[in-house]
Amino acid sequence: MKDEIIIAGFGGQGVLSMGKILAYAALENDLEVTWMPSYGPEQRGGTANVTVILSDEPISSPVLDTFDTAVILNQQSLDKFESKVKPGGVLIYDPYGIHHAPTRTDIKVVPVDAMEATIEMGQAKSYNMILLGALLKMRPDVPVEAVVRGLKKALPERHHHLIPANEEAIRKGMSLVKE
Amino acid sequence: MKDEIKLMKGNEAIAHAAIRYGADGYFGYPITPQSEVLETLEALMPWETTGMVVLQAESEVASINMVYGGAATGKAVMTSSSSPGVSLMQEGISYLAASELPALIVNVMRGGPGLGTIHPSQSDYFQATKGGGHGDYHLIVLAPSTVQEMADFVGLGFDLAFKYRTPSMILADGIVGQMMEKVVLPPQRERRTNEEIKRQCPWAVTGKEGGRKRNIVTSLELDSAVMEKNNERFQRTYAEIEKNEVRYEARFTEDADYLIVAFGSIARICLKAIEEARKEGIKIGIVRPITLWPFPYDAIRDAAKNVKGILCVELNAGQMIEDVRLAVSDSVPVKHFGRMGGIVPNPQEVLDALKKDFINPSDSKA
């Protein structure tokens, strides 16, 4: 098993955190994992992305040109990464704020109304967890239980009371993926 | 007992490993992409547990001179910075080498020259391996390619520095500094007591008691006849290091038609290119120098015996390629592929470069 994932959006949308939580979940599930962020000023606005690789074998390059799975949170990232999804791969995106939807037909394109769901749920901060839920539905690389254990490691203790809300958002995201 | 596996950035691993090693002091000044070293040390507050001193100095020049002071007392002290900061430290590094002081310097390289970019680069190879500061000296230079090696090379760097009484350097880059992956930290060691330091470092300035000559730690020697003797001693040390401490990793070299030489993070990108190439039936091997000084000349010469070409892949304009050419003379064509200024090539670009240079050279005329 190997999943080469790109998560991309605006700085502040929780792109790096989503990757980090996934990486901790992989650690909990005894998988090999690398987490390679774009770093620097883009964390304070502009685009941010992170490459997460999960594998049951040692991982060579943490830097990739093509991906099995893409989770896309804004138009710039869609423009940049749609062509980088391997044929047969999965592209998950939130249509909110997207003017030019993905056009590829050789990959599985999965729209997830995550922004709408966060507004409905009244918890804007779990936006990224809804998308993580959609990712886990499409790519069951790690069980949700491992993600919850991963959350405990990824979040400082003072935020642990938010874990149930995060889990709820993850499950919401899973339910938003239409078969 | 199962070792505890943690997930952390390479920079964080350096900080944890320094405390675990029983290091006595860290002096540094923040600069991207290695600020997490200092940040992590400040967050872990080792002065309350092991007694390790952590200090944000007023500049890199101050940091390296604090390292000089700490090292002169026989303490295990270190600093970390990134390219422009390490340039500022060069005078102090030369003084450390000339005063035969053990210390650990970490350079998490970014794109230069000048202030350049904050993104990954390997353009300080010459600076690290060929001097950097003035005078005839060498640093032991370790090049990690994983977060695990970031952690492991802290202990190795200190051990080698104390064994040979010479500063050592971890030459990393923004990729291995910023990426997170699994790491098993070394066990916690006690810091050495003052008595142990006096025994292990009889040369150190530890407070003179009766019965011994005073120790003077200095790089200044105005009598040239003595200074030449000093230099001869340094060179004997370097010869010992060259004899004993060469480290490298060779993979897929047995049946290889082509050889890649690459160090640090880019070696992993090359490894992915090699995996892809094998699927196409192209057999490429790789030698990854782990010590950049002393350089694994013999290993590269051996691995190159049956290959049609060597591609030296670096995040710079071509620096290590000079050592690779020295290793093989003119027996094999050696080409360079690299990106500069903080741009990191992907595995496909590496493979395309190798094909263009050695397999379909006619394509390159286009």
Chain B residues with CB-CB distance to A34 below 8 A: 179-181
Query: Residues of B near A (CB-CB distance < 8 A)?
Result: 5, 7, 32-33, 118-119, 174-175, 178-182, 265, 268-269, 271-273, 275, 344, 346-349
Minimum CA–CA partner of B148 in chain A: A34
Q: Which domain holds residue B276?
A: 249-365
Q: Is B280 inside a domain boundary?
A: yes
Note whether residue B102 is domain-resident.
Answer: yes
In a domain, B213, yes or no: no
Proportion of chain A above pLDDT 90, given as a percent? 86
| Distance between first and last Cα of chain B | 60
In a shared domain, residues B20 and B153: yes
Give me the residue from A27, A39, A59 closest to B5, CB to CB. Answer: A27
Quick: pLDDT tens for B123-145: 999 999 998 999 999 999 999 99
Same domain, B154 and B292: no
* pLDDT band with cut points at 50, 70 and 90 for residue B1: very low
Query: What is the total count of domains within chain B?
Result: 2
Q: Which residues in chain B are contacts of A39 at CB distance < 8 A?
A: 32-33, 118, 174, 178
Which residues of A sit within 8 Å Cβ distance of B?
A: 20, 23-24, 27, 32-37, 39-40, 59-66, 153
Q: With an 8 Å Cβ cutoff, are A65 and B348 in contact? A: yes
Q: What is the CATH number of the domain that holds A90?
A: 3.40.920.10
* pLDDT of res. B289: 98
Tell how many helices (H) and how many strands (E) occur in chain A.
Answer: 6, 6
Tally of CB atoms within 10 A around B209 = 7
Identify the closest residue of chain A to B174 by CA–CA distance.
A39
Q: Is residue B106 part of a domain?
A: yes
Q: How many domains does chain A have?
A: 1
Which of B12, B146, B179 should be substituted to probe chain A, the one whose Cβ sees the most A Cβ atoms within 10 Å?
Answer: B179
For residue B104, tell me if it sits in a domain. yes
Amino acid at position B146, single letter: T
The token pair that represents B166 in the structure block: 């010479």
Domain span including residue A48: 2-176
pTM of the prediction? 0.95
* CA B70 – CA B192 distance, rounded (Å): 14
Beta-carbon separation of A40 and B118 below 8 A: yes
Q: Residue B181 above 50 pLDDT?
A: yes
ipTM of the prediction greater than 0.90, yes or no: yes
Q: What is the pLDDT of residue B2?
A: 56
| B10 and B76 part of one domain | yes
Average pLDDT rounded to a whole number, residues A77-82 = 95
**Same domain membership, residue B291 and residue B165:** no
What are the structure tokens assigned to A132, written together?
A: 């993580």
| A39, A43, A51, A153: best to mutate for the B interface, most B CBs within 10 A | A39
Report d(CA A144, CA A163) in Å as an integer: 12
Average pLDDT over chain A, rounded to an integer? 93
Instruction: Provide the strand spans (E) within chain B.
Output: 5-9, 25-28, 53-56, 77-81, 104-109, 140-142, 168-173, 180-184, 248-251, 258-261, 284-289, 291-293, 309-314, 334-338
Domain assignment present for B12: yes
Dihedrals φ, ψ of A68, to 5°?
A: -75, -35
- B13/B130 same-domain check: yes
Confidence (pLDDT) at B151: 98
The domain that contains B160 carries what CATH number? 3.40.50.970
* Cα-based distances in Å from A69 to A128, A167, A175: 16, 22, 19
What digits encode the pLDDT tens for the residues B216-270? 999 999 999 999 999 999 999 999 999 999 999 999 999 999 999 999 999 999 9
Please state, for a pLDDT cut of 70, what percent of chain B lies above it. Answer: 98
Q: CA-CA distance, B321 to B78, in Å (whole number)? A: 30
Indicate whether B24 belongs to any domain: yes
